[in-house]
Structure 1
Amino acid sequence: MEKFKSIFKVKNPIIGMIHVQALPGTPKHKYTIKQVIEMALEEARVYKKAGIDAILIENMHDIPYIKNGVGHEISSIMSLVAYLIKQETNLPIGMQILAGANKEALAAAQTASIDFIRAEGFVFGHVADEGYIDAQAGELLRYQKQISATSIAIFTDIKKKHSSHAITQDVSLLDTAKAAAFFLTDGLIVTGSHTGHSASINDLNHLKDNIDSPIIIGSGITIENISNYLPLCDAMIVGSHFKKQGHWDNDLSYDRVAEFMSLVNQLR
């Protein structure tokens, strides 16, 4: 909880997603590097103007994803984008590099002097559409120590969306959360089964009653359900709802972000 509180200065911070356009070498890459950077910066400006609390950048357009590792052409650009967004907004900034490229994200975050990363495959293992994602906590935290990046928080997905958890079906969400806490996570990210799908309220209540680590809802939050979910977590990551028509691939909507943040400020 200590790192969480040092990063976020407001109660129940809302973390807005920036899905960076497809990067060099990936099948959907079509914009110049300058255009990719400027598009991400413009979304950051919209978020800042609309009153967002923090920003998380992610290479979601780089489909299909490479499992566990990416090239320097990806991590270097993500680092540059993150650095410029941090300078532009002075907000808490985080990064995720898909799929499971947690060491690359940590290195890029350290270079960019940002605040946190979102890591998948921290404890246990699961099967995603990229293949089998194995646990990385031990390797990742040792690498964090080696590159002197211990000030960067590592928030970790448990029972991650878009994945099969049949091999750990006898391990409950709570037991997974306890394992992540034992392995020194800085926060637990709980999602629904897919992007835009809500997490289980029963699961969140169970975690809240039994876990001291910060709980971050990672999908499915909308202006219609925010009042139900805000009391159950310490932070929320919101992406799809902030886009036009509520779809992650559309342009960011200032009006949707501003209306959402106005309601959040009333609730908290």
Structure 2
Amino acid sequence: MLKEVIGVIHLPRLPSVYSSVDLNSIIDYAVREARLLEELGYSGVIVENYGDKPYSKRVRDPVTLCSMTSIVREVVKSTSLKIGVNLLRNSGREAYSVAVASGAKFIRVNALVETIISDSGVIEPEASRLRPLRINYPDIEIYADILVKHASSLRLALSILEAENSVTSKGSLEDYYRELVGDYVERGGASALVVTGLRTGEPPPIRLLELTKKYSPIPVLAGSGVTLENIDKVARIVDGVIVGSYIKKQGKAGNPTDPDRAKQLILKIRELTQLTHT
């Protein structure tokens, strides 16, 4: 049964040292999006710097970081939703700092214990950078992507080679995945795992959801490609969903939320929940 249904607020390009953008209009947009999802019955939202493509490995621009903090703070003040922060591509430490300053409850991290190869370059794990913050500000949850979309896991690639070598192999590919899940929990300290497809808007393979749920002692969320057509299959496996593309106008990431699409999905989820209880 789904315990969390989290919508995504895809922000437009944020202000920076190099470009002046009307921050107040972005704040108004984010608050409208959050209030709409709250009225429809979503349990939370992730505020994401989606419009800042192409993404740097880290967000270092001070104007951008201050702007993100202001936006998230207003969303927190304007709703009773569980609010999260995602700073693409993998600015976990900065997102955590924004969460501390704004009152957000969780962050999403694309590479917590994996080294990934992406269009932003080679991105190293974020867990060690987060450690001091987590010691001093322990109340922020970390929703960690595993085998994140738009990237390849260097660790998984090496595991595939190892698993196929009869001399050096220590186990099957499933064994290596079980080990990876364990490291997210035991070494990375993840609060929840997020499973995605290859790209934004593409669903994760059902088998991958099943494997993650099989080995994870913490909640597992489907983090991309959730639709009205596949929610029944996905909801049988995971503890929650993060929905971005499907609930946007024309089903396109980056667009404003479509009230009808967002409503249809949440009504379907409620229907499935009622069926589970009968």
**Which has the greater radius of gyration?**
2
Instruction: Give, in angstroms, the shift of residue 111 of structure 1.
Output: 0.4
Instruction: Tell whether 2:42 aligns with 1:52.
Output: yes
Q: Which amino acid aligns with 2:238?
A: C
Q: 1:176 aligns with which of 156, 165, 180?
A: 180
Note the C-alpha offset of 1:25: 3.0
Aligned: 1:19 with 2:10: yes
Task: Calculate the aligned-residue CA RMSD, in Å.
Answer: 1.7
The C-alpha deviation readout for 1:77-135, integer Å capped at 9, x for no partner, is: 11111111111111100000111111110000000111000012211201110001001
Percentage of matched positions with identical amino acids:
29
- Long gaps (5+) in structure 1: 1-9
Correspondence 1:24-173 to 2 at 5 A: 24-25=15-16, 31-145=21-135, 148-166=136-154, 168-171=156-159, 172-173=176-177
Maintained 8 Å contact 1:121/1:157: yes
Task: Report SS of the residue matched to 2:50.
Answer: coil
Q: Which moved more, 1:238-247 or 1:205-214?
A: 205-214
Match of 2:172 in 1: none
Matched, 1:227 2:254: no
SS in 1 for 2:236: helix
Moved over 4 A (4+): none
TM-score in terms of structure 2 length: 0.87
**Amino acid paired to 1:92:** K
Query: Which amino acid is 2:179 matched to?
Result: D
Q: Secondary structure at the match of 1:169?
A: helix
Specify the SS of the correspondent of 1:18.
Answer: strand
Asked if the contact 1:19/1:57 (under 8 Å) is kept, the reply is: yes
TM-score, normalised via structure 1 length: 0.90
Q: How many residues align?
A: 256
Name the structure 2 match of 1:3. none
CA contact (8 A) 1:26 1:62 kept: no
Contact 2:2 2:239 in 1 (8 A): yes
- Say which is worse superposed, 78-87 or 237-246, in terms of deviation: 78-87
How far is 1:163 from its partner? 0.5
Task: Please name the residue that 2:248 is paired with.
Answer: 243
Structure 2, unpaired ranges of 5+: 160-175, 274-278
Q: 1:166 to 1:136 in 2, by over 3 A?
A: closer
Amino acid at match of 2:192: G
**Does structure 2 conserve the Cα–Cα contact (< 8 Å) formed by 1:158 and 1:173?**
no
